[in-house]
Structure 1
């Protein structure tokens, strides 16, 4: 167990950040899944910018790696064009 006040505070902060990051990552994963399951091209084109924005925000805050974000957006764009 931590013995310093600062270490205890760091533990509290890290747990709070972990829960926060987990929420946004899960929300984005659900949005990606919903976009992949859409069969209507017009609806998918409407959803894509919102999902891409969510992915960019995760990458900006280092919740996911920049390359992973680029790969996700690229694969979604390819799928969108195939509809």
Structure 2
């Protein structure tokens, strides 16, 4: 997640987003983090990637 927020390249961010999104889903599925927390993080990440030029 830190690497994704630090990047300014949109194509690289989109590739990282796939991996991080999948990771968050797996963590929520295994009850390591709450499903709402995973959804919140994914929402913030998508918002960040879409704001890149």
Structure 2 stretches lacking a partner, 5+ long: none
RMSD: 0.4
TM-score by length of 2: 0.95
Q: 1:68 aligns with which of 28, 37, 45?
A: 37
More helix per residue: 1
Question: When the two structures are aligned, how many residues end up with a matched partner?
Answer: 52
Q: After TM superposition, what 4+ stretches of structure 1 lie above 4 angstroms from structure 2?
A: none
CA-CA distance at 1:46 after TM superposition: 1.0
> Highest CA radius of gyration, 1 or 2?
1
> Which residue matches 1:80?
49
TM-score by length of 1: 0.62
Q: Which has the higher contact order (CA 8 A, sep 6+)?
A: 2
The reply to whether residue 55 of structure 1 matches residue 27 of structure 2 is no
> Which residue matches 2:7?
38
